[in-house]
Amino acid sequence: MTIKNTPILLFLLIASAAFAQPVMDLQECLRIGLENNYDLRIVRNEELISDNNVTLGNAGFLPQVSLNSGYNLRSNNADQYPVNGEGTIETRNSNTQTLDAGLNLNWTLFEGFRIQTNYKRLKELQSIGELNTRLAVEGFVADLTAEYYNYVQQQIRLGNLQYAVSLSKERLRIVEARYQVGSLSQLDLQQARVYFNADSSLLIQQYETLNSSRIRLNELMGGDVEQHFLAKDTTILFDADLSKEELFNQAMQHNTSLLLSGKNKTLSELDLKNLRSHNYPYLRMNAGYGFTHYDYNTGTLDRQRTWGPSVGVTLGYTIFDGFNRKREQKNAEITVQNRELQVQRNKLWLESDFANMWLSYQNNIELTNLERESLHNAKVNYEIAMERYKIGDLSGLELREAQNSLLEAEQRLLTAQYRTKLYEISLLQISGKIGEYLE
């Protein structure tokens, strides 16, 4: 890339990035994403399925009623031989037509509380569907918020690099002027051009990074990935006064993953109760109303009709099933124990994650304060270096070192702010307070 073409390319990049772009804040991005994100729409539909399954009929409270009818034609040939030996009686093409219809009802009245347990299980599955949706929404809000502030970070980083290019351009102007009057060598001029090109190259790469973050944001929002917009925020602000005790208590009580593990334990307990229903007898009722019509072409009857209701009950009990009932219940008891162990394990994991996040959050707050001071010193140092360079009291290498120190200090501060924001997001997410970003 030549020095002649670099300013033109940079101008085109800046102009294309800034021209007629709408400005969006975090709440607007979240609103659009919550409506359009495909993963959220899928998990909401799955929740609707679990809602639809909570019915008395699905649990087994209601009877099954069926209606059936049929028609049969039977054609027979017969040879009959009387015992008195009077001769064979032959019957050919004897047709019998049967038409029947019936209404049947089958109803399980009692099966060891299995039906009641099934209904409770369906209600628990409905709650799990709601928690899965809540978990997906929390994860989405955390991901989009993190990516939004990454986009803010990349915008700020772009501004820092634009400023670095302007400093290199000013230095190149000074070197060219001194080279013209003979006070600097061609080596100094070439060195200034190398630095300018290097800063310009970093700026061009930063546009790529910025656009990648923008595309990822558009993907999360479920919209056109080519949509151009700017983040409204011009700095990364974080809450440095979060309460550790409050967040920890909220996490222990409202963490969605922990609540889900508790629901899984409840499901296992209901499965065990379902298996124990086999220890009881069952009572079933059946009823119906039938109609049958016969047509004959032989015999003493020409046709016959029967109709009427029927009702019956069945009381039963499984005395022996190869010890399978005992085995299944024992395994279900072990599963309940495992679910309880998983709940305790998840609590320990949550405590460990919270402790690590809180420590990192506090450390990055301190690091941010330190980097703010470093940036202030780097700015003062560069201003002094530039003044000395203008009067010829500082070499080009020393000025470049001061410029690099300034850029690095800006980048370190930005990184510390972004990392602190990420830990803030994580703390709010595991404590169930991530919805605060929607307000």
Closest CA to 375 of 408, 337, 336: 408
In this predicted structure, the answer to whether residue 2 has a pLDDT above a threshold of 70 is no
Are residues 262 and 343 in contact, defined by beta-carbon separation less than 8 angstroms?
yes
Q: Which of 135-144, 149-158, 318-327, 406-415 has the lowest mean pLDDT?
A: 318-327
Element (H, E) at 147: helix 114-181
Looking at 158-281, which runs of residues are DSSP E strands? 230-231
Can you give the pTM of this predicted structure?
A: 0.86
Please list the residues that pair with 305 across neighbouring strands.
293
Highest mean pLDDT among 58-67, 141-150, 307-316: 141-150
Q: How confident is the model at residue 393, as a pLDDT? A: 87
| Mean pLDDT on 45-67 | 94
Residues ≥6 apart with Cβ < 8 Å to 279? 112, 325
pLDDT tens, residue by residue, 364-380: 999 999 999 999 999 99
Token representation of residue 422: 């990420």
* Whole-Å CA distances, 423 to 73, 154, 204, 289, 419: 80, 18, 30, 70, 6
**C-alpha distances out from residue 314 to 285, 286, 378, Å:** 6, 8, 90
- pLDDT of 57 reads 92
Residue 122 pLDDT: 95
Query: Of the given ranges (31-35, 129-133, 134-138, 226-230), which has the lowest mean pLDDT?
Result: 226-230
DSSP 113: T
Average pLDDT over residues 334-344: 96
152: helix, coil or strand? helix
- Among the listed residues 273, 205, 243, the one whose alpha carbon sits nearest the alpha carbon of residue 358: 243
* Lookup result for tokens 């008195």: 84
For the record, the structure tokens of 243 come out as 């309460």
pLDDT band at 11 (very low <50, low <70, confident <90, very high): very low
Task: Give the pLDDT score at 292.
Answer: 86
- Positions of E strands within 22-63: 23-24
pLDDT digits (tens, 9 = 90+) for 251-277: 999 999 999 999 999 999 999 999 999
Which residues have a Cβ under 8 Å from the Cβ of 172 and sit 6 or more positions away? Answer: 192, 193, 195, 196
Whether 120 contacts 270, CB under 8 Å: yes
Which segment of 204-208, 306-310, 338-342, 346-350 scores lowest on mean pLDDT?
Answer: 306-310
67 - beta bridge partners?
A: 103
Q: What local confidence, expressed as pLDDT, does residue 15 receive?
A: 46
For the chain, what is the radius of gyration of the CA atoms? 40
What span, in angstroms and rounded, lies between the C-alpha atoms of 402 and 382?
5
Distances (CA, A) of 60 to 81, 316, 414: 57, 18, 61
Point out which residues pair with 309 in neighbouring strands.
289
- Look at residue 160 and tell me whether its pLDDT is greater than 90: yes
Q: Which domains does the chain have, with CATH numbers?
A: 6-61+114-288+324-438 (1.20.1600.10)
* Residue where the block lists tokens 């889900």: 260
Q: Which amino acid is at 42?
A: I
**Which own/partner contact pairs does 394-401 have at CB distance under 8 Å and 24+ positions apart?**
396/171, 396/175, 396/188, 396/191, 396/192, 397/191, 399/171, 400/195
Share of the chain above pLDDT 90, in %: 71
- Do the Cβ atoms of 293 and 103 come closer than 8 Å? no
* pLDDT score, position 308: 86
Report the distance separating Cα 255 and Cα 249, nearest Å.
Answer: 10
Query: Measured in Å, how far apart are the chain's first and last C-alpha atoms?
Result: 48
CB proximity list for 326: less than 8 A, separation 6 or greater? none
pLDDT of residue 20: 61
Over residues 161-185, the pLDDT tens digits come to: 999 999 999 889 988 988 898 888 8
CA dist 90 and 216 (Å) reads: 89
The band of 80, judged by pLDDT with boundaries at 50, 70 and 90, is low
Give the model confidence (pLDDT) of 193-243 as tens digits. Answer: 999 999 999 999 999 999 999 999 999 999 899 999 999 999 999 999 999
Alpha-carbon distance of 76 to 336, in angstroms, equals 63
Task: Classify residue 205 by burial, with Cβ atoms within 10 Å: 0-12, 13-18, 19+.
Answer: exposed
Predicted confidence at residue 369, as pLDDT, reads 96
